[in-house]
Amino acid sequence: MHSKGSILIVDDELIVRDSLSKWFQEEGYDVGTAEGGRQALTVLAERDWDIALVDIKMPDMDGIELQRRLSEVKPDLTIIIMTGYASVETAVAALKSGAYDYVVKPFDPEEMAHTVRNALAHKRAERENLALKERVAEASFPPELIGQSAAMRAVFDAIETVGPTEATVLITGESGTGKELVARAIHAASPRRYNRLVVAHCGALAETLLESELFGHEKGAFTGAQYRKKGIFEAADGGTVFLDEIGDISLKTQTDLLRVLQEREITRVGSNQPIHVDFRCVAATNKDLEALVEQGSFRPDLYYRLNVFRIDLPPLRRRREDIPLLVDHFVRKFASSMNKPIQGVSRAAINMLMQYDWPGNIRELENAVERAMVMARTGELQEKDFTLRIPHNGRSGMTLEEVERAHILEVVEQCRNNQTLAAQVLGIDRVTLHNKLKKYGWKRPTDEAL
């Protein structure tokens, strides 16, 4: 018979575990028991449970402590605290720290049934809400993918062409050109859009961690693998997998990846059971994969598998005409999030921004606009509000400390010695800035009012 949900009963008293589990079994629930906090952690590592009914007083670990630990490792678990009359205050403390509800022993049968029914309904609604939000966001064309230049129009055409197909796509482009946004647009244009888009930042993880991220692992597969974990290919489940920085993965992982792309099967780390997976692959890189293939550090067969349909994203300096449009978008975005009434950018500032080469591409432009918004004193961003990395300071022969000192002092001066503002621009907290200024012997100019 279909189970109504799963309940783990954690109580040191056998009679409580026995009578409650029998009662819930009759109600049609899938029931498990644990005689204390430690055993509960072990049982919960083996499989997922919807609800844990946790006694507040247990000899090895009290219910509140168990709840604290579980909220770290199993944030989705709904916890209901069971308490005697004497410890209602502690139960209230448990509620404050995130328990769904508490019940006082002995329970009125209808009250208990009602509490568990409500907890499950609440959990179901939360899950559905989250899944819908994610899917709606993933199913929409990313609004930040902006451009009217010929180069970007070609990118949009390519997305429109390849999106609805099952073809694997390789997106190339310099860092900060918006490769992930293009991957999201491809997903949104595909029939898979109502399923998940799962992103793996391949360059950010060590080989073993990446393996477990991609293919998942079984409990105990390696030190620290306390719980079974699904990899991104499994998690995508009918959706799209976006493999970012694909040029950074090791030859060993390339071999594993090639097998997944060919066989559509994965094997979790620590298991020998192949699992069928349903996904569409989009990969991206800022590296020259052909050159890597020639050097022997990238497998040619994987390269051909990935390079079925290729989209080259132009660097921002090759589509300067899109800069005003992008700036306008970022100004509106930050005006809203910073709650600052800034309408736009002066013509002189736009001219300056269009002449700059933007080595960090759109990401650098976005950061520059954000910094300028912090600095701005009027309703329009001016040239002086922008701090561009124009190579003018001749710092090439300086040590890192000297560069830091020069940059900090420059920013503080631009901020008219306002340390709070300067700390915001530098992206550090005010105390750190204060300590660094002290270290560099900075003195507040006495003749200048803030």
Partner 1 sequence: MNRIDLLAIGETDPVMMESLRAALEAEFGVRCQILEASLDPAPSFHPERGQYSSTDILDRMQKQFGSGVDRLLGVTALDLYVPILTFVFGEAQLNGTCAVVSTHRLRQEFYGLPADAGLLEVRLLKEAVHELGHTLGLTHCEDYRCAMAASHEVEAIDLKGRSLCHECRARALALMTRKPAVKR
Q: Which residues 394-413 are close enough to bind partner 1 by CB under 8 A?
A: none
Q: Which residues 106-125 are close enough to bind partner 1 by CB under 8 A?
A: 106-110, 112-113
- What would the two tokens of residue 385 be? 């509000």
At 403, the amino acid letter reads V
Of the candidate spans 22-30, 153-161, 395-403, 410-418, the one that interacts with partner 1 by CB under 8 A turns out to be 22-30
- What would the two tokens of residue 266 be? 């994965």
422 makes contact with partner 1 (CB under 8 A): no
Minimal distance, residue 17 CB to partner 1, in Å: 9
335 makes contact with partner 1 (CB under 8 A): no
Q: How far is CA 342 from CA 11, 376, 388, in A?
A: 59, 8, 20
Site string (1-20) toward partner 1, x via CB under 8 A: x-------------xx-xxx
Our CB check for partner 1 shows the closer of 8 and 152 to be 8
Minimal distance, residue 7 CB to partner 1, in Å: 13
Minimal distance, residue 30 CB to partner 1, in Å: 11
Minimal distance, residue 1 CB to partner 1, in Å: 6
Our CB check for partner 1 shows the closer of 120 and 282 to be 120
Q: List strands edge to edge, sheet with 30-34.
A: 30-34, 6-10, 51-55, 78-83, 101-104
Our CB check for partner 1 shows the closer of 19 and 435 to be 19
* SS3 annotation, 403-421: HHHHHHHHHHHHCCCCHHH
**Residue with token string 């090759």:** 318
Minimal distance, residue 24 CB to partner 1, in Å: 10
Judge whether 171 and 208 are in contact, CB under 8 Å.
Answer: no
- What would the two tokens of residue 425 be? 């621009």
The Cβ of residue 264 has, within 10 Å, a number of other Cβ atoms equal to 14
Our CB check for partner 1 shows the closer of 24 and 334 to be 24
- C-alpha 270/C-alpha 280 separation (Å) is 25
List the beta bridge partners of residue 230: 216
26 makes contact with partner 1 (CB under 8 A): yes
Q: Which residues 182-201 are close enough to bind partner 1 by CB under 8 A?
A: none
Site string (72-111) toward partner 1, x via CB under 8 A: ---------------------------------xxxxxx-
Identify the CA nearest to 74 among candidates 56, 92, 104, 47. Answer: 47
Q: Which of 23, 141, 194, 440 binds partner 1 (CB under 8 A)?
A: 23
Our CB check for partner 1 shows the closer of 117 and 430 to be 117
List the beta bridge partners of residue 34: 10
Minimal distance, residue 9 CB to partner 1, in Å: 10
Positive or negative: CA dihedral 384, 390, 396, 401:
positive
Our CB check for partner 1 shows the closer of 19 and 420 to be 19
Identify the CA nearest to 82 among candidates 60, 103, 61. Answer: 103
- C-alpha 371/C-alpha 334 separation (Å) is 10
Q: How far is CA 85 from CA 4, 91, 104, in A?
A: 29, 10, 6
- C-alpha 186/C-alpha 250 separation (Å) is 26
Minimal distance, residue 128 CB to partner 1, in Å: 20
Our CB check for partner 1 shows the closer of 25 and 255 to be 25
Minimal distance, residue 255 CB to partner 1, in Å: 49
Judge whether 33 and 17 are in contact, CB under 8 Å.
Answer: yes
The Cβ of residue 394 has, within 10 Å, a number of other Cβ atoms equal to 7
Count of residues engaged in binding partner 1, rule: CB under 8 A: 20
Minimal distance, residue 124 CB to partner 1, in Å: 15
Minimal distance, residue 10 CB to partner 1, in Å: 13
Our CB check for partner 1 shows the closer of 111 and 166 to be 111
Our CB check for partner 1 shows the closer of 15 and 400 to be 15
Angle (CA) 68 73 79, round 5°: 55
- C-alpha 181/C-alpha 168 separation (Å) is 16
Our CB check for partner 1 shows the closer of 110 and 448 to be 110
Give contact residues for partner 1 (rule: CB under 8 A): 1, 15-16, 18-20, 22-23, 25-28, 105-110, 112-113
